[in-house]
């Protein structure tokens, strides 16, 4: 009896109702959107990380509008709202821990903003304004969902090696396992990092494999083999991982060896990728940082082997 | 962090929602690291609510805005930075007390900045808000009189 009473008290709580309805709304919208746009599977549009969390915040504010609720409480409950959304994404959308860690600043930022914007909106008691704001946000969501999304980027890094191009080349095409400790925080918390590279033959058209710390293998094909100068390989198959690798397609990699004429070589590493998560102004920062750290881990290893 | 962002990427504040989202992230951070600060901000808000003809809203550059008859007279960012609009005379006399600073962006204006760092600062913040409210009220009344 008392359990039923407590349960009904909890369910009747406006706080909980706001959080529940906001999450149900979000996942219904995302479900409808992904079922209507099957051709774009794998693409996550900016509205899913910006408009939906903001609407979630506004929904909670509507439920809380007649409560004497202080800003600190709004913040706390909004964080809880975001945590629930993140947990649902983890269990039902199959997103990985690191991916959710990366996405969380957007989710929390926009949910908290939505809750405070909603509080200001509902205080004015201007229904026309409220409907206009919500319609505008939904309109943006629909247009964004129906738009084409494509983003390609190239990241380039270089490193000076105290060895000749001939020596460096020996370790560029394939290299022994990397034994150095991870020094990039995302690698330290479990993001796969490059460990070794093998090659079927040292020639154009050969198959190359880049092996990552969790056993993932990127299958590559050498498309340019200019000895001691330039190696280009296309990625022909990459693992689909719930972490960031499921949201980024590495297309091509390149090593350029520049002979400095004084016994040293400048090694340039380039990578091309397609990003499947938007907004790019946010995710590309992460993608660039991760790609750069993959480059440096491999290039530092090549430097170590070449200078030995 | 706040000063760095204001100095380095302050130009982004005019992008829709940028400043509001940044402030929400500060609020998130403060909730985790210094939750009592959010209590003090709420106390300031309640203090202003009791002043007649005031409204509270979202500030366009992030934080909570305090308005008198629809005109802003102060706002507080979620890192505890209270910006208050005084007149130059009042500002100069308060500056001698050493508790307030020039506004963190508009140095040569009637705006001043005051950091809420502990609970004791709340009393002084309320005094500043009272002064700003009185000034806004006087200004509004004089405009009304001029109109007549």
Length of chain A measured in residues: 308
Q: How confident is the model at residue A32 (pLDDT cuts 50, 70, 90)?
A: confident
> For A221-261, how does the pLDDT look when each residue is reduced to its tens digit (9 = 90+)?
999 999 999 999 999 998 876 665 668 889 999 999 999 99
Q: What is the predicted pLDDT for the residue at A39?
A: 59
A76–chain B Cβ distance below 8 A for any pair:
yes
Distance, in Å, from the CA atom of B37 to the CA atom of A70, rounded to the nearest integer, reads: 13
On chain A, the residues whose CB falls within 8 A of the CB of B17 are 113
Please give the residue range of the domain that contains residue B81.
2-147
- Which residue matches tokens 């202003």? B48
Q: What is the CATH number of the domain that holds B33?
A: 3.90.1150
Which string of DSSP letters, residue by residue, matches B49-72? HTSTTEEEEE-TTSSEEEEETTEE
- Shortest Cα–Cα distance, B145 to chain A (Å): 28
On chain A, the residues whose CB falls within 8 A of the CB of B56 are 120, 123
Please state, as a whole number, how many other Cβ atoms lie within 10 Å of the Cβ of residue A281. 9
Q: How confident is the model at residue B146 (pLDDT cuts 50, 70, 90)?
A: confident
A42 pLDDT above the threshold of 80: no
> For A54-108, how does the pLDDT look when each residue is reduced to its tens digit (9 = 90+)?
999 999 999 999 998 999 999 999 999 999 999 998 888 778 889 899 999 999 9
CATH class of the A151-307 domain in this structure? alpha beta
Nearest to B42 among A71, A116, A120 (CB): A71
Q: How far is CA B136 from the centre of its chain?
A: 14
CB burial readout B59-78, b (16+ within 10 A) else e: bebbbbbbbbbeebbbbbbb
A79–chain B Cβ distance below 8 A for any pair:
yes
On chain A, the residues whose CB falls within 8 A of the CB of B33 are none
- Which residue matches tokens 């802003």? B72
A1 pLDDT above the threshold of 60: no
| Cis before B67 (ω within 30) | no
Domain ranges of chain A: 2-146, 151-307
Nearest alpha-carbon partner for A46 in A36, A57, A38, A54 = A54
Number of folded domains that form chain B: 1
Cα→Cα distances A125→A63, A65, A113, A128, Å: 14, 10, 19, 9
Q: How confident is the model at residue A41 (pLDDT cuts 50, 70, 90)?
A: low
> For A161-179, how does the pLDDT look when each residue is reduced to its tens digit (9 = 90+)?
999 999 999 999 999 899 8
- Shortest Cα–Cα distance, A50 to chain B (Å): 10
- Shortest Cα–Cα distance, A285 to chain B (Å): 15
**Any residues with CB less than 8 A from the CB of B14 and at least 6 apart, and which?**
none
Averaged pLDDT for residues A285-299: 95
Complex-level ipTM: 0.89
Alpha-helical segments (H) within chain B: 2-9, 18-33, 35-49, 88-95, 121-147
| Out of A3-12, A85-94, A266-275, least confident range | A3-12
| Out of A145-149, A295-299, B49-53, B59-63, least confident range | A145-149
Q: What is the predicted pLDDT for the residue at A135?
A: 92
> For B84-130, how does the pLDDT look when each residue is reduced to its tens digit (9 = 90+)?
999 888 898 888 888 888 887 777 788 999 999 999 999 999 999 99
B80 pLDDT above the threshold of 60: yes
Nearest to A113 among B20, B45, B64 (CB): B20
Q: Do B42 and A70 touch (CB under 8 A)?
A: yes
Distance, in Å, from the CA atom of A228 to the CA atom of A224, rounded to the nearest integer, reads: 12
**CB-hemisphere CA count at 13 Å for B114?**
30
Q: Is A271 helix (H, G, I), strand (E, B) or coil?
A: strand
């Amino acid at each position: 009896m008392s359990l039923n009473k407590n349960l009904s008290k909890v369910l009747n709580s406006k706080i909980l109702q706001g959080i529940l309805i906001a999450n149900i709304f979000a996942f219904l919208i995302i479900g409808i959107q992904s079922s209507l746009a099957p051709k774009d599977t794998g693409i996550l549009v900016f509205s899913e990380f910006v408009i939906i969390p903001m609407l979630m915040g506004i929904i909670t504010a509507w439920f809380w509008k007649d409560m004497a609720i202080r800003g600190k409480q709004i913040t706390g409950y909004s964080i809880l709202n975001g945590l629930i959304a993140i947990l649902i994404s983890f269990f039902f959308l199959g997103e990985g821990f690191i991916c959710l860690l990366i996405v969380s600043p957007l989710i929390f930022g926009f949910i908290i903003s939505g809750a405070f914007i909603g509080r200001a909106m509902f205080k004015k008691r201007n229904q026309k304004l409220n409907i206009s704001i919500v319609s505008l946000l939904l309109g943006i969501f629909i247009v964004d969902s129906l738009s084409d999304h494509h983003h390609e980027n190239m990241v380039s890094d270089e490193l000076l090696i105290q060895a000749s191009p001939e020596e460096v080349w020996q370790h560029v095409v394939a290299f022994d396992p990397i034994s150095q400790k991870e020094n990039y925080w995302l690698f330290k918390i479990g993001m796969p990092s490059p460990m070794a590279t093998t090659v079927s033959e040292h020639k154009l058209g050969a198959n190359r494999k880049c092996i990552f710390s969790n056993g993932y293998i990127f299958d590559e094909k050498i498309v340019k083999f200019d000895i001691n100068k330039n190696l280009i390989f296309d990625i022909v198959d990459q693992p689909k991982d719930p972490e960031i690798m499921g949201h980024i397609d590495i297309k091509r990699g390149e090593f350029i060896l520049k002979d400095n004429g004084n016994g040293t070589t400048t090694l340039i590493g380039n990578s091309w990728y397609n990003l499947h998560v938007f907004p790019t102004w946010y995710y590309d920062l992460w993608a660039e940082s991760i790609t750069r750290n993959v480059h440096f881990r491999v290039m530092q290893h090549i430097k170590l082997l070449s200078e030995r | 962090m706040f000063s760095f962002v204001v100095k380095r990427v302050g130009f982004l504040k005019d992008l829709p929602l940028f400043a509001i989202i940044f402030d929400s992230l500060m609020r998130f951070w403060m909730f985790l690291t210094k939750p009592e600060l959010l209590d003090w901000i709420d106390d300031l808000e309640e203090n202003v609510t009791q002043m007649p003809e005031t409204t509270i809203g979202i500030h366009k550059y992030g934080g909570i805005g305090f308005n008198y008859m629809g005109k802003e007279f102060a706002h507080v960012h979620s890192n505890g930075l209270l910006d208050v609009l005084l007149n130059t005379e009042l500002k100069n006399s308060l500056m001698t007390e050493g508790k307030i600073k020039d506004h963190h962006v508009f140095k040569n204006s009637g705006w001043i900045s005051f950091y809420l760092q502990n609970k004791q600062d709340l009393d002084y913040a309320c005094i500043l808000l009272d002064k700003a409210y009185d000034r806004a009220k006087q200004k509004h009344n004089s405009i009304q009189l001029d109109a007549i």
